[in-house]
Amino acid sequence: MRVSTRIAESIDDVRILSIVLALSVAISWHAVPAFAQSQMELNAQAGREREMADKELNAVYSRLMAKLPNESRERLRKAELTWLRFLEEECAFETDGTTGGSIHGMLVAYCQARLIRQRTKDLEEQLNCKEGDLSCVH
């Protein structure tokens, strides 16, 4: 009887372990976003990253504009327009080898997201600079 009891306990342990394993896999699949599988999904994912970076930049830009005197606001506005042209041209240059390919849109979006995040950091430095820092506008 002891052997059969041990076997029954082992079977119960295996069942419990299987249930725990299945639940942990289900939870992890739910918690982690699905990885893109097709080029269309990859393009959409890259586009979302670019949009998120752009939202962050716009928020920092707005806060900085609110702190600046009028003359500096106009300069920042002009600089931002010039920077937007740079963004387009730089990413066109960096992705020139994929023009016409299905991966091109994704690479452009990732390039733009990277440059937008860098621009956001640059504007945050202006927004959060220390008093006495001569490189600060305000």
Task: Answer yes or no: do 44 and 107 share one domain.
Answer: yes
Task: Answer yes or no: do 19 and 79 share one domain.
Answer: no
Q: How many domains does the chain have?
A: 2
Q: What are phi and psi of 85, to 5 degrees?
A: -65, -40
- H helices of the chain, in order, are 2-31, 39-67, 70-94, 104-127
Distance in angstroms (rounded) separating the CA atoms of residues 74 and 89: 23
Task: Answer yes or no: do 25 and 42 share one domain.
Answer: no
Residue with tokens 């076997």: 7
Reduce the DSSP state of residue 72 to 3 states and report it.
helix
Task: Answer yes or no: do 50 and 14 share one domain.
Answer: no
pLDDT on residue 29: 40
2-30 tens-digit pLDDT: 655 566 566 666 566 555 444 444 444 44
Q: Which domain covers residue 6, as residue numbers?
A: 1-32
Task: Answer yes or no: do 56 and 102 share one domain.
Answer: yes
Task: Answer yes or no: do 69 and 135 share one domain.
Answer: yes
Kindly list the distances between the CA atom of residue 71 and the CA atoms of 59, 77, 129, in Å, as whole numbers in the listed order: 20, 10, 19
Q: Which two tokens stand for residue 136?
A: 């600060």
Q: What is the mean pLDDT of residues 100-119?
A: 97
Q: At 92, is the pLDDT very low, low, confident or very high (cuts 50, 70, 90)?
A: very high
What is residue 88's DSSP assignment? H
Is 50 exceeded by the pLDDT of residue 43? yes
Task: Answer yes or no: do 23 and 70 share one domain.
Answer: no
Task: Answer yes or no: do 22 and 42 share one domain.
Answer: no
Q: Which two tokens stand for residue 38?
A: 């097709």
